[in-house]
Amino acid sequence: MKTSIQIEVRPTEIDVMGHVNNAKYLEYMEWSREDWYNKAGLPFDVFVEMGMGTVTANININYRKEAKLGQKLTVSTEPVRKGRSSYVLKHEIYNESGELVADAEVVNVVIDLKARKSVPLPEALAKQFES
């Protein structure tokens, strides 16, 4: 399942170069990831009930085009691949003109909340990677 959210670039997200600060793109992607989990029926509290959580292990981001104040951006999230305890979500950010602003692959790991160690993906999450 691919999901997307719409955002508008705010003044607090602009750096001294007059465009969106690089760290803000990670926040945009995090907001989109949260939306993806919710639409997949896997909000944070569902993981907690299973005694599990998800942590980000790696992010590879490509900054393609600058975004500026007031621009409306579309941030999408979709599952790419899964392993035993890890999985990859892909993000793309487009501007109003349909130009790719940034894209990234984010590696997440499912952990046992008490042991703080990786565990196999729960079935409900693994299903999200089936075609």
Residue 15 falls in the annotated catalytic set:
yes
- Written as six digits, the tokens of 82 are 């899964």
How far is it, in rounded angstroms, from Cα 15 to Cα 71?
A: 15
Exactly one of 15, 35, 103, 112 is catalytic; name it. 15
C-beta of residue 91 within 8 angstroms of C-beta of residue 33: yes
C-beta of residue 33 within 8 angstroms of C-beta of residue 89: yes
Query: Which residues are identified as catalytic?
Result: 15
